Structure 1
Amino acid sequence: MPWNAVTAQWHLFVDQLCVDFRFLEPAALVRFRGDRLKMVTYLAETHDLTEREACETLKMWFERNGRTTLETQAA
């Protein structure tokens, strides 16, 4: 899923990201507004990952869950 699509619908992803990554805080995600660099840094810091691991983890998460989250919200 392209990151610009993620950014455009960021509010739809906040809750599910917090469920799947238990150390994320919804308020922080809302403040980031889809800023990829901030999100990667935050995920790395909160989940004991390198920034590269966090980047790859987010990429895989959005590939696996992004469209499902959008479809669920649209229904």
Structure 2
Amino acid sequence: MFRPKHHWQPAEQQRHAVAGTLPTGRRHRDGESVDAFCERTVSTAGHTELDWLWPTCPDCLRAAERLNGIPS
């Protein structure tokens, strides 16, 4: 079974990939700084359904694909 080595987090108007997985029920605090795969430190956003509709950061997507052995 495929298990990603990262999780996705809404931050700064995009969905960013962040290293590691979050246990079920855990989430980042609003405004918490996280290091994203795009090599930026971003401030996390709220946890509304609309936040998850933001576009995916293209640099994070490419890095997540490489990390997980997914050809782009």
Q: TM-score, normalised by structure 1?
A: 0.31
- Which structure shows the higher strand fraction? 2
Q: TM-score, normalised by structure 2?
A: 0.31
